[in-house]
Amino acid sequence: MKCPHCQKEIDNGSIFCEYCGTRVNPDEKLGCLLSRASFLVPIVGLVLYLQYKDTAQEKAKRAGLLAAISFGINIVISIVYTIVVVAINTL
């Protein structure tokens, strides 16, 4: 792979360029704000997943996972709410 700063060839998996010292993979983790947004609004997680799936796999994986968990929780809450409303209306 190439260093984004000096364009010299460096080892795959390097964190810093051995020639110029530039960090090669900055912010590989999804930030706190984007993590929360992915969880609270699953469509944000989906958009972030699609944006990062080819360039930053760890970010994409985290955003997709948080969106899926949030979606699952929303489905469970909706089912429980529906059951409670139906039970109350039949009394």
Most confident stretch, 18-22, 49-53, 72-76: 72-76
Q: State what percent of residues in the chain have pLDDT above 90.
A: 26
Q: Does residue 53 share a domain with residue 9? A: no
Q: Does residue 41 share a domain with residue 7? A: no
- Encode pLDDT of 13-36 as tens digits: 778 888 998 877 655 667 788 788
Q: Rounded to two decimals, what is the model's pTM?
A: 0.63
Domain that holds residue 61: 32-89
Q: Which residues contact 1 (CB under 8 A, 6 or more apart)?
A: 9, 10, 11, 12, 14, 24
Task: Please state, in angstroms and as integers, the Cα–Cα distance from residue 87 to each residue in 17, 20, 83, following that order.
Answer: 63, 67, 6
Q: Does residue 22 share a domain with residue 38? A: no
Q: Does residue 40 share a domain with residue 16? A: no
Q: Does residue 40 share a domain with residue 19? A: no
Q: Does residue 84 share a domain with residue 43? A: yes
